[in-house]
């Protein structure tokens, strides 16, 4: 991104539908995130926990439940952009992508 593009993104206000919020990861969230992936297995939980706690990530919750997430892989690319099917169509994918990109720029 150019500096101008970065500045535009950083100035952008990200709004979510009122019942959703950008959340903080809790211990019980890791299992739900891992098992939501096509090939996610319980043995993947420590690996994903490490990525989510050490690298930039973004989580959207509704009623304290993870409904969308995305993370930065240790290689530096955006990884695992996912919105649970029942919550799709609410702009959460766009919001989570922008939130994560803002974190990477900062």
Domain boundaries, the chain: 3-105
Using a pLDDT cut of 70, give the percent of the chain over it. 100
Strand pairing of 20-22 and 78-83?
Answer: unpaired
Angle between helices 3-11 and 92-105 in degrees, nearest 10: 120
The pTM of this model reads 0.91
- C-beta separation of 61 from 69 below 8 A: no
The Cα–Cα gap between 24 and 28 comes to 11
pLDDT in tens, 23-63: 999 999 999 999 888 888 999 999 999 999 999 999 999 99
Choose between 35 and 97: higher pLDDT: 97
Fold of 3-105: Aminopeptidase (3.40.630)
Rounded to an integer, what distance in angstroms lies between the CA atom of residue 79 and that of residue 68? Answer: 13
């Amino acid at each position: 991104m150019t500096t101008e593009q970065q500045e535009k993104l950083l100035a952008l206000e990200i709004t979510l539908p009122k019942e959703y919020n950008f959340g903080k990861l809790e211990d019980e969230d890791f299992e739900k995130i891992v098992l939501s992936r096509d090939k996610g297995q319980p043995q993947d939980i420590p690996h994903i926990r490490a990525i989510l706690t050490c690298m930039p990530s973004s989580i959207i919750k509704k009623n304290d439940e993870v409904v969308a997430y995305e993370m930065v892989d240790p290689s530096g690319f955006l990884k695992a952009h996912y919105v649970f099917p029942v919550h799709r169509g609410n702009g959460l994918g766009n919001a989570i992508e922008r939130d994560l990109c803002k974190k990477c720029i900062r």
